[in-house]
Structure 1
Amino acid sequence: MCKCRMSRGWNHVDFDSMPTINRYSDLEQCCSTVQTPINDVDILSKCQVEGRSYYDGERIYPDGDSCFMCLCTPNFNNKTSFAKNSNCVKINCGIEHDLHRITAGCVPVYYKTPTCCPIDIKCPAKDDVVSNEETSNAENEKLTCTFGNLTLKLGQKLKNDNSCLNCECSIPPLLACIQKPNCSKSK
C-alpha cells in the first residue's frame, strides 16, 4: 500500500475547492503527479474506452476486463486488447497478503463473477453446511471440494449465514465464492 503526499510548491492552488483530474506519468506510479483543474482539461489529449472519455494521464479501469489498469496517453490504442496494450498492466491484487489464510483453508470471495482480484476471504465457520441439492452425474462423484471439515460434490453449494454470498463447488478442489450485487444480508 502506498500513501501520497502532495507538494504544491510556491504557486499554491487550493485544489480541494475545485474539481480536478488526477494525472499520472506512468503505470507504476502509486500517486498522481499532477492535479489538473477540470476547467483546464480541454487542452489535453483524450482516450476513448468502452464509450467513456479519459484525459491524458488519467487512469482507466476497464469494466470489460477488471484485471487491467490502463493509462490514457497520446499513443493509447483502444483497438488493441488490454492484455496487449503497452498502456495497460495486469493489476496486482496483493493476494500474497492473505496467503496464510488461503493455505489454512479459506477461499477468495469475488464480486459478481470470478475475476482476477477477490474482494474478501471466506474462512470455514461452524454454521456452514452443505446444501441438500443432489448432483445429477455419477462422474461428478469423483470431483469434490473441501472446505474446512466439509466435502462438497461438484455442483453442491455451501449454506452459510450470509445470504449475499454464493459458494459452490464449481472448480474442484477449491470452493468458488461470489458476492451477489445489490444484496443486503439476511439469515
Structure 2
Amino acid sequence: MKQRVSILLTAHLVCIVLGCNVPIKHYETMKCTPVGDNGSDCPTSFNCPSITEHDKSKCYFNGKTYALSEQIPNELVSPFCSALCYCRNASPFAQFRCTHIDCAEFFQQFDYDNCIRTYKPNSCCSSGKVCGKERNTLAKCHLNGDEYLAGQKMHPATNKCLTCICHEKFNEANIAYDPNCYESICGFELFYAKQAYNGGAPVYYEDRCCPWEWRMPKDTDQLVKGPEKNKIDDPTLHCQYGKLTMNVGDSLKPEVYDGNTYKCSCLIPPLVQCVKTKNSKL
C-alpha cells in the first residue's frame, strides 16, 4: 500500500513540478531520465536510451526490453484490449504483435436508461452491469461536480492521466491515497513503435493523457525560428526532426488538417512534440 501511495504521489508531483504546460507522458512511458533544469520547473532535456541506443532486434515497453519471441505478461497489456503480445522481427526494427480483445459489450445493445456498466481498475472490458432496483441501491460518488455509481469509471479534472473507480468510501479530497485510482499507462509502444522510435513526434490531444497519434517528418515542413537567445551549440539540446535540426523554442509552421490544427515544437529535447486542437466553427 505504501509503495502504491508513493507511486501516485510521485506521478502527481511530476505533473506539478514539470507542469510548465509541456506534455511529457511519452518520456515517462519510455522511462527516460530528466536532465538539468531550464529555470521554469522543466528539465532541460531527457536522456532516452531506448531512442539513442535502440537495439533493432529488441522491443521496448514501459521501460523494459523484450527479446524476439518474448511475451509481455497479459495483465500489463489487458488495459489496451490486448493479449498475447510478443516481440517479433519486423522492418525497420522489431515490434510487438498482439491479439485484440473484443469485449462482449461491443456487440450487445445496452439499456443506458436503466443500467450501468461496472469496471475494475486497469480493465478494458466491463466486469458486469447493474440494472433496475439494484442500481438504485449502489453507493454514489461525487467528482468534478458530477455524480457516479459504484463501479463506474471517473476521470478527475485535475489530472487527466488518472482514472478512478467509484466505490462506497470514495473521497474526492483523498484521491492520491485511493486504491481504486490509478495512473494511465500509455500503450503507444505496442502499436506505434515504428513511429515512436523512428523519428516521429508525439501528438497530444488537449483532453487526453497519452499520445495516441504520431506525426512523421514531411518534406514540406517549414521551420519557424524561436528567440535567438534559445540557440544552443550543445547537440544534445537540439531536436532532430527529419532533416531539420531544431533549437529549443523552434517550431513548425502550424498545419491545418481535417478540422484540426497541429502545432509542433522543440520544447524539451530530444523529441519534437505536437498538440492537436479542434478548430472552432464559425
TM-score range, shorter chain: 0.7 to 0.9
Contact 1:127–1:161 (8 Å) recurs in 2: no
Q: Please, which of 74, 83, 86 is the counterpart of residue 179 of structure 2?
A: 86
Asked whether the 8 Å contact 2:115–2:135 carries over to 1, the reply is no
For residues 60-86 of structure 1, the C-alpha deviation after alignment (integer angstroms, 9 at most, x for no partner) is: 12232111111001122221234x321
Given that 2:202 and 2:213 are in contact with CA atoms closer than 8 Å, whether structure 1 keeps it comes out as: yes
Partner residue of 1:148? 242
- Give the secondary-structure state (helix, strand or coil) at the position aligned to 1:128: coil
| Equivalent residue, structure 2, for 1:172 | 269
| Offset, 1:139 | 5.5
Sequence identity percentage: 30
2:160 equivalent to 1:66: yes
For 2:256, the equivalent position in structure 1 comes to: 162
User: In structure 1, what residue type is equivalent to 2:279?
Assistant: C
Determine which structure has more spread, i.e. the larger CA radius of gyration.
1
TM-score (norm 2): 0.54
Mapped contact 1:141–1:154 kept (Cα < 8 A): no
Question: In structure 2, the residue corresponding to 1:171 is in which secondary structure?
Answer: coil
Select 2:216's aligned residue among 119, 123, 128: 123
Other-structure match for 1:100: 194
| SS class of match (1:89) | strand
Contact kept? 1:128, 1:161, Cα under 8 Å: no
Rounded Cα–Cα distance in structure 2 between residues aligned with 1:56 and 1:17: 15
Contact 2:141 2:149 in 1 (8 A): yes
CA shift, 1:15, in A, is: 4.0
Q: How many residues align?
A: 172
Unaligned runs of 5+ in 2: 1-80, 82-100
Of 104, 111, 122 in structure 2, the residue corresponding to residue 5 of structure 1 is 104
Q: Does 1:44 align with 2:141?
A: no
Structure 1 residues 38 and 148: alpha-carbon distance in aligned structure 2, compared to 1, 3 A threshold = farther
How has the CA–CA distance of structure 1 residues 140 and 162 changed in structure 2, closer, same or farther, with 3 Å as cutoff?
farther
More helix by share: 2
The Cα of 1:44 is off from its aligned counterpart by 1.0
Q: What's the counterpart of residue 229 of structure 2?
A: 137
Letter in 2 for 1:135: P
Shift of 1:134: 4.1
Helix, strand or coil: the match of 1:101? helix
SS of 1:41's equivalent in the other structure is helix
Q: Say which SS state the counterpart of residue 29 (structure 1) adopts.
A: coil
TM-score by length of structure 1 reads 0.79
Partner of 2:15: none
